[in-house]
Amino acid sequence: MTFENLKLIEPLLRALTTEGYTTPTPIQAQAIPVLLERKDLLGCAQTGTGKTAAFALPILQNLHEDELYVKGPEGIKALVLTPTRELAIQIGDSFAAYGRHLRLTHTVIFGGVSQHTQTKALRDGVDILIATPGRLLDLMNQKFVKLDNLKMFVLDEADRMLDMGFIHDVKKVIARIPAKRQTLFFSATMPPEIAKLANTILTNPVKVEVTPVSSTANTIQQSVYFVDKKDKRKLLNHILQDRTIGTALVFTRTKHGADRVARHLNESGIRAEAIHGDKSQGARQRALINFKARKTRILVATDIAARGIDIDELTHVINFELPNVPETYVHRIGRTGRAGASGVSLSFCDEEEKEYLQDIHKLIAKTIPVVEDHPYPLQRDGMPKIVPATQPADRQRQGNRSQHQGGNRSQRQGGNRQGDNRRHQQPKPPVTNNTSADVEGNTPTEGNGQLRNEGNSRNGRRRGRNRNRNRQSQGQVQGQDQSQEQQAQARPQGQQQNNPPRQPRPPRQEQRSPRQEQRNAPRKESRNDDGFEKLDWGEDLKWGSERLDID
């Protein structure tokens, strides 16, 4: 089949010959006859199938045959709504190329630039308007755009409108255009929300589906590399060392990620530029021009910014990061292998992106081949062991040391101390005469009476002596010199000094003064005639008079 068989007018055929097109694509062969009959159309076609010409050629021919050349703001007869500025510019270029031999005019409006030039073109009058939703609503509110005489409405990339959050703006535009019109609805995928919108705005549409929904073109050779996230840039450098890769489009999920990848490639000697929504319109246009002119070898882009990239000779698409929406994968790789040409799609997948890859496999109904022979494979084993938060790190280290060194320290050093974690404990102070508490550092317990003097308590000394004797009988050490302990810890393992066992300290014999002997002596008790205890105060008064200096 040729374009002549589609009953296109001579000016359009001449323009197609100039562009080098002789045979229509499947979507063009099915859609053009339906649109020339002024019927609504529901088209399911992926990017790169030639759907722009499928609706641009019928629009130009229908408007030319109507001979409705009403000029001024009310002269807009066809509206094409697109999600991105780049795609709007691409569609505008297609109308300019196909309608070069017709007297129809068109203009493109989008945000991010001054509206002065756009409003001037609207005042002069246009027949075909290509616009993005935000700028269109803005100029409609300013009365620069009137759609009262609209005859044809095209909603392109409807699924992308939904993903970008433009669906509410689209509904506002639809509410302000005439109900009697011809509507063309194109979408690469057909999720439930898009199917519901299509049923709302289409009237008895003819459905054109050139390929199965959510499928990829057979002319694209797909492969996936499993790689750690930290090694993705190195793998990208390794792949781009192949000089047979001319120009390549690299996709990232975020704007900052695109800037980082482009900066890394430039530092590695590979000419690259980034394109995303934060770039000015002038910077984005310059990047596209340099890429098409092959001044820039690698173009790093986000999904939204890449929608308007139309390069017939693009051979490679690299998914530096897999998309979290599987339909986006179909859009990405559709940038290559266009119009029957062959293309290559390479995808990097780290551990966190394996779920995304599974969703892509389900969507395209096939498994992408895995490239295992590369220098940066995904490390599945050998990951560092993570100590649970509930187990202290020092306790984990002690357990490992016990296993490697063969048990307790007493067996290794030949001492009488048990091989526990004693050296990690706080050293206990030695027993002295001036302690009122027990040797373990505990607070004194209540006995027959409260301790009146911290340094001279009989009960405290007696408890200390008894506890010390018990521990000596068990062969335990009740104190350890702190300086010797620090020196032992400072020595390397395996070089500990074999200290002889410490001998138990002999019992201490106290020397008492005559006053203490007298006080500790049992008191003689006598009672008077009334039965009360009779006390001898003479000696006490004697000592009291000495203390108080009483004559």
Is the CB of residue 222 less than 8 Å from the CB of residue 345?
yes
| Nearest partner of 259 among 306, 304, 302, judged by Cα | 302
Q: Give the pLDDT score at 6.
A: 92
Helix orientation angle between 232-240 and 255-267, rounded to the nearest 10 degrees: 50
Q: Name the H helices within 99-223.
A: 116-124, 133-141, 158-163, 167-175, 192-201
Scanning the structure block, which residue is given the tokens 């395209």?
364
CATH code that applies to domain 220-364: 3.40.50.300
Q: Are 423 and 413 in contact (CB under 8 A)?
A: no
The contacts of residue 381 (CB under 8 Å, 6+ apart) are none
What is the rounded end-to-end Cα distance, in angstroms, of the chain? 144
Q: Provide the 10 A C-beta neighbour count for residue 111.
A: 15
Q: Which residues pair with 527 in a beta bridge?
A: 533
Domain ranges of the chain: 3-209, 220-364
* CA 136 to mean position of chain CA atoms: 34
The burial class, CB within 10 Å (0-12 / 13-18 / 19+), for 292 is middle
Judge contact between 186 and 222, C-beta under 8 A. no
- Tell me the C-alpha to C-alpha distance, in Å, between residue 414 and each of 98, 133, 399, 402, 417: 98, 86, 21, 16, 9
pLDDT in the model for residue 508: 63
Q: Rounded to whole angstroms, how far apart are CA atoms 134 and 111?
A: 7
Going residue by residue through the chain, which has 551 residues, state the pLDDT in tens, using 9 for 90 and above.
Answer: 789 899 999 999 999 988 878 889 889 999 999 999 999 999 987 766 788 999 999 999 999 988 655 555 568 999 999 998 888 998 999 999 999 999 999 999 999 889 999 999 999 889 999 999 999 999 999 999 999 999 999 999 888 888 788 889 999 999 999 999 999 999 887 888 888 999 999 999 999 987 654 667 788 999 999 999 999 999 999 999 998 898 999 999 988 999 999 999 999 999 999 998 788 878 888 998 899 889 999 999 987 666 656 776 789 999 999 998 787 898 889 888 876 778 999 999 999 999 999 999 988 889 999 999 999 998 764 443 333 434 344 444 344 444 444 444 444 444 444 444 444 444 444 444 444 344 344 444 444 444 444 444 555 566 666 666 655 555 544 454 555 555 555 555 544 455 556 666 666 655 666 666 666 655 555 555 555 555 555 554 444 444 444 44
- Alpha-carbon distance of 230 to 260, in angstroms, equals 13
Q: How confident is the model at residue 447, as a pLDDT?
A: 42
Domain 3-209 and domain 220-364 have a common topology: yes
Tracing tokens 């992408």 back to the chain, one arrives at 368
Supply the pTM of this predicted model. Answer: 0.50
Beta-carbon contacts of 156 under 8 Å, excluding residues fewer than 6 positions away, are: 51, 52, 55, 80, 81, 82, 83, 87, 91, 186
Tally Cβ neighbours within 10 Å of residue 355: 11
pLDDT of residue 165: 85
Query: What average pLDDT does the structure give for the chain?
Result: 77
CA distance 435 to 441: 9
**Which backbone phi and psi does 186 adopt, to 5 degrees?**
-120, 140
Radius of gyration over alpha carbons of the chain, in Å?
46
Q: Which residues, 6 or more positions from 467, have their beta carbon under 8 angstroms from its beta carbon?
A: 438, 439
Residue listed under structure tokens 């410490």: 502
Q: Does domain 3-209 have CATH number 3.40.720.10?
A: no
Pull the structure tokens for residue 322: 């897999």
d(CA 521, CA 478): 33
Say if CB 93 and CB 53 are below 8 A apart: no
Are the C-beta atoms of 136 and 81 separated by less than 8 Å? yes
CA–CA gap between residue 213 and residue 329 (Å, rounded): 13
Q: Please give the biggest Cα pair distance in the chain.
A: 152
pLDDT of residue 262: 96
12 contact partners, CB below 8 Å, separation of at least 6: 3, 57, 60, 61, 98, 99, 101, 102
DSSP 547: H
Which stretches within 317-430 are classed as H helix? 326-333, 354-364, 393-404, 409-413
